[in-house]
Amino acid sequence: MCSSAVLVAALFVGEPVGEPDAPFADAAAVAHRINAFVEQHWQAAGLHAASPCDDATFLRRVTLDLLGRIPTAHESMTFAADEAQDKRSAAIARLMSSPEYARHWGSVLDEFIQQRHAGDSQFVDYLRDAIAANKPWDGLFREVLLGPWQSEGERRADRFLQQRVRSVDELATDTARVFFGVDISCAKCHDHPLVEDWKQDHYYGMASFFTRTYLFRPPSADKEKRQGGQIAERADGDVKFVDQNGENRTARMMFLSGASLDDPPESQEENWKERREQAKRDGTYLPPPFSRREQLVKTALDERQFFSRAAVNRVWAYLLGRGLVHPVEQMHSQNRPSIPGLLEWLADDWASHGYNLNRLIAAIVLSRPYQLASTQESAGEVPGPEHFAIAGLRPLSPQQYAMSVLLATGEEVPQTLESEAAAEWSRKLEKQARALTAPLDARSDNFQSSMGEALFMSNNAEIQALATPKGQNLAARLAAMADPTKLVETAIWTVHSRAADADEREYLVQWIEERGETRRAEACGGLVWALVTSAEFRFNH
């Protein structure tokens, strides 16, 4: 039987499982370095970290983070019974090799990149394919901003620009936020009033990389082609602005580091105007000899600090509930990382190893701070979230919550599914979940479940139907059980992904028995509803 080290190694190198390979040992080594940084910080700050979380909590946490759903009852019970010392790393290997992993993380990256424009099915599919192929982050960055966008599959990557091409402001500010972790929007009309790093020159310097980008629509009798268009770039055009002193200025290309660039003299070829006019007559697009967007990508990757740290910080924030720099879009000299040296080292290591996203994710979920309990046994003040000395409570995203509700309340999932069957099952579950996500509250730093969500979970006919015994759903299976103890244990394993404790077992068994055989079905429906609407179910803890 293959060890977990071998299985995870295969994830990183894209090769068949065989002898132990360096990549998993490498991810484990990265996790050890993470541990060293945080433990040194805890010691210096006089903090006592929480104990490691129990196995049931770990499996639920990592399954939600890697697959976007709770584990099945079979998965939870099998993991609990496993006595292998490396079962946590083996679980990570199993989850990351599942087709559900690419589906979920494609959606996660869509939220990262597209933000308010998230949900475009073509772009999500592009990201899922990128995750499945373990495409390096710098390669994805190039494809999103530069292409090529020739084939139908390649054109899926241009959605970031397509959604923003009509606004240079959106192109500049969203690119800075998403890929570099910087919010320059307040430096448009004046130097940033609160952050000394960001001047008007930074805002308009970033805008200058995009001012020549436009949507080219070839003259065609085909209405669909005219409406679509392709991302293109002009050979000339500058950003003009009025600075805070009231002077009219022409912006130069400037990256966030302060590096300024100019168009090279050879960018205007002798016959450029003639060739451009001919292209206009032919109704074709002629790429310019010098691309400003290409210069942005080259500069960002050459300097790499903003690019690598922003991505690592976002992945860390997703997996631990908070970035090493918080908020994730406020990376500047006045907002230092909360664990000295960790973000800098982790980002540099990630860049030096090819921007391998699987490797980064595996290293973080293998680390000690990721696997801490969310409760503290010792007396005293609970460490602040910026120290990562205790696991934070993270509200499930609407998609995670909806998929988990459907999984918990539905028919029993087959214990084993082949890869294609697992992918199809995941697609169906995701499709069903979409109908439930709209009324649910999105995750946020200061999450509070709204009255609207509470009313939806209490009164919505579809939610009520999921908890009502029908066919072979959970409530129906529970109602068919003669032993109330087995009934309660099955319900807790299925919904809360853990064994029932003694107190809740005693209370719930008595509650079921008091309702008698005539009200057994009603009681089981009420039990299922109470479990899926509980705070324990609503959060990743």
Give residue-wise pLDDT tens across range 146-166. 999 999 999 999 999 999 999
Q: Look at 235-239, 241-245, 262-266 and tell me which has the smallest mean pLDDT.
A: 262-266
The answer, yes or no, to whether residue 8 has pLDDT greater than 50, is no
27 contact partners, CB below 8 Å, separation of at least 6: 8, 12, 359, 362, 363, 366
153, two tokens: 């599959």
Cis peptide before 383 (omega within 30 of 0): no
Predicted pLDDT of residue 429: 85
Residue carrying structure tokens 């230092």: 336
The answer, yes or no, to whether residue 234 has pLDDT greater than 60, is yes
Angstrom distance (rounded) from CA 291 to CA 209: 9
Phi, psi of 29 (to 5 degrees): -65, -40
DSSP-assigned states of every residue in 253-280: EE-TTS-EE---GGGS-TTHHHHHHHHH
Predicted pLDDT of residue 10: 41
Angstrom distance (rounded) from CA 171 to CA 168: 5
The answer, yes or no, to whether residue 289 has pLDDT greater than 60, is yes
Predicted pLDDT of residue 12: 43
Predicted pLDDT of residue 225: 54
Residue carrying structure tokens 């080290």: 5
Binned at pLDDT 50, 70 and 90, residue 437 comes out as confident
Structural contact between residues 200 and 241, judged by C-beta atoms closer than 8 angstroms: yes
Angstrom distance (rounded) from CA 422 to CA 417: 5
Three-state SS letters, 457-480: HHHCHHHHHHHCCCCCCHHHHHHC
Span 113-129, pLDDT tens digits = 999 999 999 999 999 99
Q: Of 193, 270, 276, 200, whose CA–CA distance to 233 is shortest?
A: 276
Span 357-389, pLDDT tens digits = 999 999 999 999 999 999 987 767 889 999 999
pTM given for the model: 0.92
% of the chain beyond a pLDDT of 90:
73
% of the chain beyond a pLDDT of 70:
87
Angstrom distance (rounded) from CA 246 to CA 501: 69
Rg (CA), the chain: 26
The answer, yes or no, to whether residue 17 has pLDDT greater than 60, is no
Predicted pLDDT of residue 32: 97
The answer, yes or no, to whether residue 418 has pLDDT greater than 80, is no
Predicted pLDDT of residue 416: 64
Binned at pLDDT 50, 70 and 90, residue 19 comes out as very low
C-alpha torsion sign, points 353, 69, 367, 5: negative
Q: How many alpha carbons lie under 13 Å from residue 319 in its C-beta half-sphere?
A: 26
Structural contact between residues 410 and 477, judged by C-beta atoms closer than 8 angstroms: no
Predicted pLDDT of residue 446: 54
The answer, yes or no, to whether residue 412 has pLDDT greater than 80, is yes
Collapsing DSSP to helix, strand or coil, 212 comes out as coil
Q: Of 272, 252, 277, whose CA–CA distance to 262 is shortest?
A: 252
Q: Look at 101-110, 217-226, 436-445 and tell me which has the smallest mean pLDDT.
A: 436-445
* CA distances in angstroms from 145 to 184, 232, 300, 301, 410, listed in the order given: 19, 11, 12, 13, 42
**H/E stretch holding 32:** helix 22-45
Angstrom distance (rounded) from CA 147 to CA 196: 35
Predicted pLDDT of residue 408: 96
Binned at pLDDT 50, 70 and 90, residue 39 comes out as very high
Span 165-176, pLDDT tens digits = 999 999 999 999
Predicted pLDDT of residue 141: 99
Which long-range contacts does 324-330 make (Cβ < 8 Å, 24+ apart)?
325/181, 326/386, 327/445, 328/181, 329/177, 329/181, 329/182, 329/183, 330/181, 330/182, 330/183, 330/195
Phi, psi of 215 (to 5 degrees): -100, 115
**In terms of residues, how long is the chain?**
541
Angstrom distance (rounded) from CA 328 to CA 331: 7
The β-bridge partners of 379 are none
Span 301-337, pLDDT tens digits = 999 999 999 999 999 999 999 999 999 999 999 999 9
The average confidence (pLDDT) of the chain is 89
13 contact partners, CB below 8 Å, separation of at least 6: 21, 23
Binned at pLDDT 50, 70 and 90, residue 299 comes out as very high
The answer, yes or no, to whether residue 9 has pLDDT greater than 80, is no
Predicted pLDDT of residue 344: 99
The answer, yes or no, to whether residue 476 has pLDDT greater than 80, is yes
Q: Of 355, 346, 360, 356, whose CA–CA distance to 315 is shortest?
A: 360
Angstrom distance (rounded) from CA 115 to CA 109: 9
Predicted pLDDT of residue 221: 46
